[in-house]
Structure 1
Amino acid sequence: MSSKLIQPPSIAASRRAIPRRTRNPKVFVSFTNSNGRTLSFSDIPNRLRPIFIGKVTEQSSCSSSTNEQQQQVEEGRTVSQIKEELYEALKGINRGIFGVKSDKKTEIEGLVKLLECWNPTPEPTGELDKIGGCWRLIYSTITVLGSKRTKLGLRDFVSLGDLLQQIDIAQGKTVHVLKFDVRGLNLLDGEFRIVASFKISSKSTVEITYESSTIKPEQLMNIFRKNMDLLLGIFNPEGLFEISYLDEDIQVGRDGKGNVFVLERTE
């Protein structure tokens, strides 16, 4: 009679569960030195070699953009061209206040991210003189739709004019002005004004605190009186605000709610 040595199932299974070691495993190591530079290494056994050296920046918005977007710039699209494309994309959408089609919104936000990747002022709160002055909103992801738009009369009775931001660096104040045209009352120069203060929170972020608001003239106040909380809830700038792109002409910012704002300098 022949006999066979039968291995217990548990031992056989445990051996099969152990994967074979691969040869020459690679390990990636990175660290930041005192000069703010990141060094990364590929560890091929017994040898370390640098594979990337780059400057560390505090710009979260750019890091979320795709490699394809960055490649588009590297292949020849200049910042001026990106800005021209952005202005072209913004035509006819009334700053996005009353909604934008999804494909158009994707196009605009893609261009905004490209700009953020080439921000010439990565630490804007350290160069406050570049922020001061008057800015006009040309795009925002904040929208006034449906019943909100109806309650505020922003369909036929009231037209929304310029949205301006006046920044006084010396006083640490911002004044946000919403211009209105109320054709029904022959008012061509009404406005909603919000005064706020700001303080530096980080190299690219400020914290905005609401102080007061007024509506002029009195006839316009009578229209909005019942919906003041709604109006303020939409346009109140209070909270953290990150300046993600800043040059002589354009400012891009993001608030704590994820809204995007694009502003152009104006007199």
Structure 2
Amino acid sequence: MLIMVSPDCMVHPCSLHCSRKSSSLKLRTVRSVRCPPTVCLSESLARESSVGHGIDHMKLSLRESLQGINRGIFGVSAAQKSAIEHQIALLEEQNPIRKPTDHLQKVEGEWRLLYSSISILGMKRTKLGLRDFITLDEFLQTIDVDKNRASNIIKFSVSGLGMLNGALTIEASYVVSSEKRVDIQFEKSTIVPDQLFKLFQKNYDLLLSIFNPEGWLEITYIDDEMRVGRDDKGNVFVLERTSHPGTD
């Protein structure tokens, strides 16, 4: 049907509106006009782009809030912790993958820990020598989806032994238990070199009790750059990707 409009009419992309009446030309038929497919697609892409930019801003703000706190491992103030975990919760609400365990290829590869609510304080820190001469370096996690295995590597340096470098490696297996959750089983742990093992030997059980991943873990946010998880002990973890499968 032909729709006649006056020159004074203003056309909206998805409907037809007339801003004022015209005495010389009448609008004979008023009918909803569907948005052309190209226009609707453009609007949809614009909305997706807006959401994407919003998530990017959230991740940037979260990274900035984590600067200078050493992943939170030695504690942060209550106010700072509350602000960080509020930002994490906002990011989790925008999780683009609602059933992460259906897309485990997304977690394949190596990740670096940015933040954890696990903390080593007081006597624990003193017993492990982390207050004075042993320094915590990077926390890395490598996930092999084909083998259902994960390796957590905690790196250390020891100033009292000529800046000796070493690492604790904790290996675990996992099975999918829900659309968001995996159950984790501790397999084994190793410390290299021997000098570092000797430093931790007396308090090795304490060290493992802090970093042992056994239990369950929910993947609450995952994209190509960042991952958030929560475990059965009430801890939250934020990690960033360092490599994709098949890359060095």
Structure 1 residues 204 and 183: CA distance shift in structure 2, 3 A: same
**In 1, distance between residues paired with 2:170 and 2:241?**
19
For 1:153, which of 129, 136, 157 is the aligned residue?
129
For 2:86, which of 110, 115, 133 is the aligned residue?
110
Question: Normalised by the size of structure 1, how large is the TM-score?
Answer: 0.71
1:88-141 Cα offsets, whole Å, 9 max, x none, are 100110000000011111110010000000001111110111011011100000
**In 2, distance between residues paired with 1:254 and 1:236?**
14
Q: CA RMSD in A?
A: 1.6
Residue matched to 2:98: 122
Shift of 1:187: 4.1
Structure 1 residues 263 and 76: CA distance shift in structure 2, 3 A: closer
Amino acid at match of 1:231: L
- Give unpaired runs (5+ residues) of structure 1: 1-73
1:239 maps onto 2:215 in alignment: yes
Residue matched to 1:64: none
Residue matched to 2:154: 178
Residue matched to 2:3: none
List, as ranges, runs of 4+ consecutive aligned residues in structure 1 with deviation greater than 3 Å: 74-77
For 1:189, which of 165, 179, 182 is the aligned residue?
165
With a CA cutoff of 8 Å and minimum separation of 6, indicate the structure with the bigger relative contact order.
2
**In 1, distance between residues paired with 2:62 and 2:164?**
30
Residue matched to 2:5: none
Amino acid at match of 1:164: L
Structure 1 residues 231 and 153: CA distance shift in structure 2, 3 A: same
Amino acid at match of 1:124: P
1:27-55 Cα offsets, whole Å, 9 max, x none, are xxxxxxxxxxxxxxxxxxxxxxxxxxxxx
**In 2, distance between residues paired with 1:239 and 1:157?**
32
Question: Normalised by the size of structure 2, how large is the TM-score?
Answer: 0.76
For 2:140, which of 164, 177, 187 is the aligned residue?
164
Q: Secondary structure at the match of 1:156?
A: coil
**In 2, distance between residues paired with 1:108 and 1:167?**
26
Q: How many residues align?
A: 194
**In 2, distance between residues paired with 1:193 and 1:243?**
22
1:254 maps onto 2:246 in alignment: no
- Note the 1:1-267 alignment, pairs <5 A: 78-267=54-243
Shift of 1:77: 7.8
- Give unpaired runs (5+ residues) of structure 2: 1-49, 244-248
State percent identity of aligned pairs.
Answer: 53
